[in-house]
């Protein structure tokens, strides 16, 4: 794994992937007024014939997408993560229940959104969509991996929800490395046998930063990019749990329903020779507030220091 470098926002990767699908006439892009913010506007500017702009009508966007999918098209529909929730009933009954391959993208997810405040910071979206049968749930960590995974969705025959973020983050992957990512498979960034840190989205960089400090402390950590929350890579989770016997999860999401919950639920169903303690770094069942992203991440205990403290706690529980 290459060293992290400066990059764009994961929403930029979504827009870049749509541009690479311009030649496929089955691909249709659906917008609900926020194409500039989600970056679907890049596709629209090049191929307006295959773009449907519906205005502020998210529920309608979901059902239009369902109709297009049932007619043989591959719709990519996007808005802010918080606004996708307006159309949850339509996603449930019109997309997930009939198992139509509609690919939703919720931009501006999580506390990391910053100054827009709690009304715009979706800290429950991953949990909401994870409850739906047939639905894949993705949260990539950088622009490069977002592009690669979005391109992979074109051949994914079930519905999906991908969360992207507004602000620029470190680039974790090279284009070559990202081409090896697979939906539903963990991505190993670092390997160590003392503890496993499973992170998604913007918390992957925090986990990598924590890894370097932990190494200086003599603690060897495995760092996993869990870009796919559902389906969770349970086979790899079992191997990691057996190797380290201690797990920390890190997410910019409510600890209820998100990555930490998914990992804990999976571990309960697996057979181990000893107890596997889990510590969850995430939003502790609170709404967000307005502030700079770095300030909010610190306030909600979503930093590398918080991951290190969680590692120290979980090691005491081994």
| 183 DSSP 8-state letter | T
CATH number for the domain spanning 312: value is: 3.40.50.920
Question: Would you say residue 3 lies in a domain?
Answer: no
Burial of residue 145, with CB atoms counted within 10 A of its CB: 0-12 exposed, 13-18 middle, 19 or more buried? buried
Q: Is 31 a catalytic residue?
A: no
> What pLDDT, on the 0 to 100 scale, is given for residue 6?
64
Task: Pick the catalytic residue from 20, 23, 58, 309.
Answer: 58
Global pTM reads 0.95
The answer to whether residue 53 sits within a structural domain is yes
pLDDT, mean of residues 235-246: 97
Compute the average pLDDT of residues 70-75.
97
Domain limits at 284?
187-316
Average pLDDT over residues 274-280: 95
C-alpha span between 141 and 188 (Å, rounded)? 13
| Sheet strands (E) in 153-297 | 160-163, 170-171, 187-190, 195-199, 221-225, 228-230, 247-254, 278-283
Query: What gap in Å lies between CA 221 and CA 223, rounded to an integer?
Result: 6
Final residue belonging to a domain, choices 171, 198, 231: 171
| Residue 2 maps to a domain | no
* pLDDT score at 273: 77
Residue 219 has pLDDT above 90, yes or no: yes
Same domain, 154 and 216: no
* pLDDT confidence of residue 5: 62
Report which DSSP code applies to 256: T
| DSSP H/E element including 16 | helix 10-20
- Please check whether residues 195 and 304 belong to one and the same domain: yes
213 inside domain: yes
């Amino acid at each position: 794994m290459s060293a992290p470098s400066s990059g764009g926002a994961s929403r930029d990767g979504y827009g870049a992937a749509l541009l690479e699908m311009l030649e496929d006439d089955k691909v249709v892009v659906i917008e609900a007024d926020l194409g500039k913010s989600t970056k679907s506007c890049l596709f629209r500017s090049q191929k307006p014939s295959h773009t449907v702009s519906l205005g502020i009508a998210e529920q309608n966007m979901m059902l239009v997408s369902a109709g297009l999918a049932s007619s043989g098209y591959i719709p990519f529909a996007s808005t802010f993560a918080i606004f996708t929730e307006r159309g949850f009933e339509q996603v449930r009954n019109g997309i997930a229940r009939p198992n139509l391959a509609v690919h939703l993208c919720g931009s501006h997810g999580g506390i990391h959104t910053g100054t827009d405040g709690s009304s715009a910071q979706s800290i429950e979206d991953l949990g909401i969509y994870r409850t739906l049968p047939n639905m894949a749930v993705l949260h990539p960590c950088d622009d490069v991996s977002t592009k690669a995974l979005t391109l992979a969705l074109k051949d994914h025959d079930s519905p999906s929800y991908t969360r992207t973020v507004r602000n620029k983050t470190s680039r974790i992957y090279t284009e070559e490395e990202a081409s090896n990512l697979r939906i539903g498979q963990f991505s190993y960034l670092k390997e160590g046998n003392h503890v496993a840190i499973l992170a998604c989205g913007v918390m992957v960089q925090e986990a990598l930063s924590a890894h370097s400090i932990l190494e200086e402390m003599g603690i060897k950590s495995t760092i996993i990019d869990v870009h796919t929350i559902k389906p969770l890579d349970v086979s790899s989770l079992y191997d990691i749990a057996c190797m380290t016997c201690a797990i920390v999860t890190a997410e910019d999401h409510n600890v209820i329903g998100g990555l930490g919950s998914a990992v804990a639920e999976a571990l309960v169903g697996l057979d181990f020779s000893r107890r596997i303690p889990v510590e969850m770094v995430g939003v502790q069942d609170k709404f967000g507030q307005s502030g700079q992203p770095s300030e909010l991440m610190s306030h909600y205990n979503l930093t590398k220091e918080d991951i290190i403290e969680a590692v120290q706690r979980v090691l005491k529980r081994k």
